[in-house]
Amino acid sequence: MNKINSFDELKSIQNRSNTLLELRKINEEKELASEGNRCTRYLSVCGGTGCMSAQSDEILLNLRKEIVAAGLTDEVTAAITGCFGFCEKGPIVKVSPDNVFYVNVKPTDATEIVKEHLLKGNVVDRLLFEEPSVKVKIKKQEDMPFYKKQVRIALRNCGLINPENIKEYIAEDGYLALGTVITEMSQDDIIKLMIDSGLRGRGGGGFPTGKKWAFAKMYDADQKYIICNADEGDPGAFMDRSILEGDPHSVLEAMAIAGYSIGASIGCIYIRAEYPLAVSRLRTAIGQARECGLLGKNILGTDFSFDIEIKYGAGAFVCGEETALIQSIEGSRGEPTNKPPFPAQSGLWNKPTCVNNVETLANIPAIINKGAAWFSSIGTATSKGTKVFALAGKINNVGLVEVPMGTTLREIIYDIGGGIKNGREFKSVQTGGPSGGCITAEFLDTPIDYESLGAIGSMMGSGGMIVMDEDNCMVDIAKFYLEFIVEESCGKCSPCRIGNKRLLEMLEKISNGNGTKEDLDKLISLAETIKDTALCGLGQTSSNPVLSTMKYFKSEYEAHVYDKTCPAGVCKHLLRYNITDKCIGCTKCARQCPVKCISGKVKTLHVIDQDKCIKCGACQVACPVNAIIKK
């Protein structure tokens, strides 16, 4: 694409490209093609990491081959798009304008989609989503319960545009916000608009974005920096990565807007090296934006210049903390520094720096285009707009969901998420990642916002939401998070480095069946001490998983300590394998046992010597009649 020299030119390009997405935006059922009556179609194939891992790239190749073979190249286009969010049912292929949403598509299904659907007009029934509760096939995306309660702002373009084509982003009002800002608004105007909108940081902290910008603007310097924090380290969260993969331009545009607001000319995206697809989409997007003159010197013919570079992380959770992130960009160990000075005063290379999270940034162009009043009309009194959650764990509909603030956990887990997998009982939902806490069933009707989640011992966090059922042991979950924290602690301050290690040792002791009452008391007091004394945000919240599980699942800890049992049947050392009367005496288990602790004659009941048993479970797997039970 050629360089765009003015805002007017951008607007006229936007006007002309309106038709580009026309097919995909028609929301009514079109008459399907019958033979001899072919109509134009657009096939969107999910190109997010989840679907790509399940061969969606091959699906696209096969579709294109079949389209050529069927002689439909003039009428049908097939291309990738960003994450649809319904990862559980991926890979997803959407056919427009018929508005048919195919799920669990395999590369071999391409033939049938083209031959049956495109050529004959027969929807391929077996690839439609079936609503499990009513066993009805659903054709349209918007009719699925998964999508009904969602409002997409940060994810507005994911599943719609091709992220590798800047024209499609522009057709969806892309870069219009930047144009408006740099030609019509003063720095203070934009900062006021951001404050009025009520947007708060989506990385977890929830600091008002407008205020953050105002601080960074306040300090004078020859150079200032905008940093996009794309170091998504919460294990089990993939919101930021999906935005970068599905709509990279919205982040670039917002960074330029932020740059204009605080007076920065350089932007820097700090991204995990483990995100190759997001990196490649970003590179493509930056290249296209430079070519169009939307990044670089004198953007849209104005005096404003802004460019963006990518910096790679190298796998360190603590680098999501802004001062540690800055250390890492400077090429050092990512250890946090004391605040103040805050980055707004002295950040990257000791210059005023504003660090914003990916999802925060993705909201900004929409806020400027639609106004602060529109944005602040969504959400609760203190938390405006929407929040993207990566819903995962023991839930039917794993995926990426975006809901208005104030939606309840129950709505997310049961209406959108489709309830607990395999009909099991809900036990807990964990939000906020390793810094967050576990929430129990009694709080499921809590409307989600920054304050309400904090009040029940968890936190908003960056958006990881992991659902657990009765088969998950909460001591084991606390241990899991502590293992993570111990591995990721940077080691700079002793409460985090040593304290968490001691916490983990106590948890291991408890799950091994050697815990005492004293350990339970010590767990709490040490966890509280770490919370009060650690240096950075990671350290101060690192003991939350212990505190929240101790608060809500104390009886489970007590069962481990006093009764030496694990109620969920997870902690291996507390399990017992027993052979029931069902035993047919086939001797298979005795032959499989690695420590030879099973005795019994052929065709008689076998017995396990509990003192020797190492609880490996080999006997249970070997038993042909399910006579061995684990308790």
Residues that bind another protein (CB under 8 A): 49-50, 53-54, 87-90, 233-238, 241-242, 273-275, 311-317, 328-334, 349, 390, 392-394, 398-399, 430, 433, 464, 466-468, 472, 477, 480-481, 484, 487, 490
Residue 89 CB, shortest distance to another protein, in Å, is 8
How far is residue 461's CA from residue 582's CA, in Å, rounded to a whole number? 49
How far is residue 210's CA from residue 469's CA, in Å, rounded to a whole number? 40
Strand pairing partners for 226?
267, 354
> Would you say 157 or 489 has its CB closer to another protein?
489
Structure-token pair, residue 377 = 């009309």
> Would you say 170 or 535 has its CB closer to another protein?
535
> Would you say 440 or 472 has its CB closer to another protein?
472
Residue 194 CB, shortest distance to another protein, in Å, is 29
Tracing tokens 């104390």 back to the chain, one arrives at 554
Residue 278 CB, shortest distance to another protein, in Å, is 9
How far is residue 177's CA from residue 15's CA, in Å, rounded to a whole number? 15
In terms of Cα–Cα distance, which of 279, 233, 26, 58 is closest to 142?
A: 26
Residue 140 CB, shortest distance to another protein, in Å, is 21
Verify cis geometry, omega within 30 degrees of 0, for the bond prior to 624. Answer: no
How far is residue 206's CA from residue 360's CA, in Å, rounded to a whole number? 10
Residue 23 CB, shortest distance to another protein, in Å, is 27
In terms of Cα–Cα distance, which of 333, 374, 395, 327 is closest to 355?
A: 327
> Would you say 72 or 413 has its CB closer to another protein?
413
Query: 559: alpha, beta or left, given left = phi > 0 and alpha = psi -120 to 50?
Result: alpha
Residue 309 CB, shortest distance to another protein, in Å, is 10
> Would you say 170 or 475 has its CB closer to another protein?
475
The dihedral built from the CA positions of residue 52, 58, 63 and 65, taken in this order, carries a sign that is positive
Confirm if 204 and 435 have CB atoms less than 8 A apart.
yes
In terms of Cα–Cα distance, which of 296, 206, 312 is closest to 259?
A: 296
Residue 465 CB, shortest distance to another protein, in Å, is 10
Confirm if 391 and 398 have CB atoms less than 8 A apart.
yes
> Would you say 100 or 465 has its CB closer to another protein?
465
Structure-token pair, residue 373 = 């009043």
> Would you say 280 or 382 has its CB closer to another protein?
280
> Would you say 183 or 512 has its CB closer to another protein?
512
> Would you say 39 or 570 has its CB closer to another protein?
570
Residue 88 CB, shortest distance to another protein, in Å, is 5
How far is residue 173's CA from residue 157's CA, in Å, rounded to a whole number? 11
The dihedral built from the CA positions of residue 340, 346, 348 and 352, taken in this order, carries a sign that is positive
Residue 179 CB, shortest distance to another protein, in Å, is 30
